[in-house]
């Protein structure tokens, strides 16, 4: 149902067999890494709220971002030993896939960290970079202040760093533990971070953003976002990336703002438009090149929470939805 928090027991592991032979155009792959992401909560509803991903079906194999190595190929452009990825990778240890739907990976682009192609050098990094560029209206030298909610998560931790690289003069994160706040400031170059579970967010935000907020990278929605919006400047911008606080509730996406917050948004001419990275695929290649360059240069710091074993993917999903991870949630399936 649309209301309710997902738990590990929503998933089960089954043992099965696959065909001994593959057909022309197919490859057999061994899964190395699977991505676990907040948007997957929407795939547990019959109506996902979007036309670009389908609901998972009961008693069928789940899927999502994945990386594997080719063990056998009957596809002209893929050979045994190639590393490949797909946005619709089945949650299986071994699979037979259509080679034309796979993208070949070059590990050297991410200093050998293959799993980064599911995060900082993949759809997560694209979401952060294109979100900042297309909806943030960041301009070098404009003395802009950016606030990021869900700042220790996969997208938020990248978005804050990218905001700085693109020209923001001040970046403040909002996260749920002191450890996360410390990592944001000490490792990822945020100017400050607020633990929303301690003290009053509004007071801390006023202290840390004395000139108000110009760009808000919104990953969470709800009360935190209402608080940030109340301190945003005239003609400022909300990058509407995610609303994880609302994913376990039966509300439309993006959820409407409360009347008082909506009034502030309209009076201050604050932009708040739904952002879909898939609408900017013409900029994908150049953006991935930029992300990989920043990673190689050490300008983009990457954090992952890695869980070992396909059997533990349900628990990994539950932990992520409860905000228990830092950075990208990855399941390592086999070595």
Per-residue pLDDT for the chain (335 aa), expressed as one digit of tens each? 567 888 999 999 999 999 999 999 999 999 999 999 888 888 888 877 777 788 899 999 999 999 999 999 999 999 999 999 999 999 999 999 999 999 999 999 999 999 999 999 999 999 999 999 999 999 999 999 999 999 999 899 999 999 999 999 999 999 999 999 999 999 999 999 999 999 899 999 999 999 999 999 999 888 999 999 999 999 999 999 876 655 555 555 677 899 999 999 999 999 998 888 888 989 999 999 999 999 999 999 999 989 999 999 999 999 888 877 888 999 999 75
| Same domain as 140, residue 82 | no
Neighbours of 312 (CB within 10 A): 16
Identify the pLDDT of residue 149: 95
| Residue 292 resides in a domain | no
- For the chain, the straight-line distance linking the first and the last C-alpha, in angstroms and rounded, comes to 36
| Same domain as 28, residue 168 | no
| Same domain as 188, residue 86 | no
| Same domain as 180, residue 54 | no
| Residue 325 resides in a domain | yes
Per-residue DSSP letter, 288: H
| Same domain as 164, residue 271 | yes
What CATH number is associated with residue 260?
3.40.50.720
| Same domain as 98, residue 209 | no
| Same domain as 170, residue 50 | no
Range of the domain at 68: 8-119+303-332
| Residue 216 resides in a domain | yes
Residue 186: which H helix or E strand, with range? Answer: helix 178-186
> Residue 95 and residue 93: Cα distance in Å, rounded?
7
Identify the pLDDT of residue 128: 95
| Same domain as 92, residue 220 | no
Residue 284: phi, psi to the nearest 5? -65, -50
| Same domain as 47, residue 88 | yes
| Residue 296 resides in a domain | no
| Same domain as 111, residue 130 | no
Identify the pLDDT of residue 1: 59
> How many domains, in total, are found in the chain?
2
Which residues, 6 or more positions from 108, have their beta carbon under 8 angstroms from its beta carbon? none
| Same domain as 128, residue 49 | no
Identify the pLDDT of residue 274: 80
Say if residues 63 and 91 touch (Cβ distance below 8 Å): yes
| Residue 291 resides in a domain | no
Question: CA torsion angle for 326, 328, 331, 335 (degrees, to 10)?
Answer: -110
| Residue 285 resides in a domain | no
The beta strands (E) that lie in 196-309 are given as: 213-218, 232-240, 271-274, 304-308
Name the pTM for this structure.
Answer: 0.90
Say if residues 31 and 77 touch (Cβ distance below 8 Å): no
What CATH number is associated with residue 29?
3.90.180.10
| Same domain as 308, residue 209 | no
> Residue 130 and residue 180: Cα distance in Å, rounded?
24
> Residue 229 and residue 233: Cα distance in Å, rounded?
9
| Residue 287 resides in a domain | no
| Residue 51 resides in a domain | yes
């Amino acid at each position: 149902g649309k209301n309710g928090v997902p738990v590990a027991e929503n998933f089960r592991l089954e043992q099965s067999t696959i065909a001994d032979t593959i057909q022309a155009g197919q490859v057999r792959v061994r899964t190395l890494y699977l991505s676990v992401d907040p948007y997957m909560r929407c795939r547990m509803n019959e109506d996902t709220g979007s036309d670009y991903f389908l609901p998972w079906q009961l008693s069928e194999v789940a899927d999502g971002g994945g990386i594997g190595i080719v063990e056998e190929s009957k596809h002209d452009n893929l050979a045994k030993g190639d590393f490949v990825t797909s946005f619709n990778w089945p949650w299986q240890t071994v699979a037979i896939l259509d080679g034309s739907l796979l993208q070949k990976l070059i590990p050297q682009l991410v200093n050998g960290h293959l799993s980064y192609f599911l995060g900082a050098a993949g759809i997560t990094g694209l979401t952060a970079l294109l979100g900042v560029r297309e909806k943030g209206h960041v301009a070098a030298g404009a003395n802009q202040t950016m606030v990021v909610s869900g700042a220790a998560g996969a997208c938020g931790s990248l978005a804050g760093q990218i905001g700085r690289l693109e020209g923001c003069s001040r970046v403040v994160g909002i996260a749920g533990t002191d450890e996360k706040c410390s990592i944001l400031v000490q490792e990822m170059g945020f100017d400050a971070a607020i633990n929303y579970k301690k003290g009053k967010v509004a007071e801390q935000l006023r202290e840390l953003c004395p000139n108000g907020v110009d760009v808000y990278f919104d990953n969470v929605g709800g009360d935190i976002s209402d608080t940030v919006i109340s301190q945003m400047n005239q003609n400022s911008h909300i990058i509407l990336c995610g609303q994880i606080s609302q994913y376990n509730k039966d509300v439309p996406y993006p959820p409407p703002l409360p009347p008082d917050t909506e009034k502030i948004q309209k009076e201050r001419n604050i932009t708040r438009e739904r952002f879909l990275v898939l609408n900017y695929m013409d900029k994908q290649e150049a953006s991935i090149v930029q992300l990989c360059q920043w990673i190689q240069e050490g300008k983009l710091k990457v954090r992952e929470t890695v869980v070992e074993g396909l059997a533990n993917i349900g628990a990994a999903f539950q932990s992520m939805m409860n905000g228990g991870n830092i950075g990208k949630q990855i399941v390592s399936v086999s070595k």
